[in-house]
A = this chain, B = another copy of it.
Amino acid sequence: MSTPVIHKSFTIERTYPVPAARVFRALSDPKKKRRWFAEGDGFIIDSYTLDFQVGGFERTRFRFGDGPAMTNDSVYLDIVENERVVFAYSMTIGGNPMSSSLGTMELVPVREGTLLRFTEATAFVDGNDGSAGRREGSIGLLEALAKELEVHG
């Protein structure tokens, strides 16, 4: 019998000193997205594909160092150019389901550039409450996106 599903959510924000169209491009361009989203330090990418349209999938097969094979499969639910991206994604580790999430990215023009508001609601299905790590990981991804925008424009 499965362990009970654990439901958690969080919202984080980060402001980038660029127009919303530049942030949106880093979310939608496969080359850029792969660079900041998948290719983190210590991660080995076995495969990465991105079909950025409603109903399209983003599939990442990866490992962290000598760790087990992991998968991250996203599907895009709602896209408004330069404004909003809503997606769902599931993660597995060693072939076992870990979590399924709803992710919402809102791009809000502000005086300093663009505020990205990221909200995630997650169903942790393996009995482990991974919410603290998920929030930390997401903060790290928004930091990686900052570097992408700074270095690659």
Contact A100 B125 (CB under 8 A): no
- Among A7, A9, A80, A102, max chain B CB count under 10 A is at A102
Is chain A's interface secondary structure helix, strand, loop, or mixed overall?
strand
Across the interface, which residues of B come within 8 angstroms of A2, CB to CB? 80, 83-84, 106
Q: Chain A: residues with CB nearer than 8 A to chain B?
A: 1-2, 4-5, 7, 9, 11, 54-55, 57, 73, 75, 77-78, 80, 83-84, 86, 88-90, 97, 100-102, 104, 106, 109, 119, 121, 123, 125
Contact B88 A1 (CB under 8 A): no
Whole-angstrom distance between the Cβ of A147 and the nearest chain B Cβ: 26
Number of identical monomers bound together in the oligomeric complex = 2
Whole-angstrom distance between the Cβ of A52 and the nearest chain B Cβ: 16
Contact A75 B78 (CB under 8 A): no
The closest CB in chain B to the CB of A20 belongs to B1
Whole-angstrom distance between the Cβ of A58 and the nearest chain B Cβ: 12
Whole-angstrom distance between the Cβ of A6 and the nearest chain B Cβ: 10
How distant is the Cα of A88 from the Cα of B89 in the complex, in angstroms? 9
Q: With A5-B84, A55-B57, A90-B78 in contact, do A121 and B102 touch (Cβ < 8 Å)?
A: yes
8 contacts between A and B (CB under 8 A): A5-B84, A5-B86, A7-B121, A75-B75, A75-B88, A78-B100, A78-B125, A84-B125
Contact A4 B106 (CB under 8 A): yes
Q: With A78-B90, A78-B97, A78-B100 in contact, do A5 and B106 touch (Cβ < 8 Å)?
A: yes
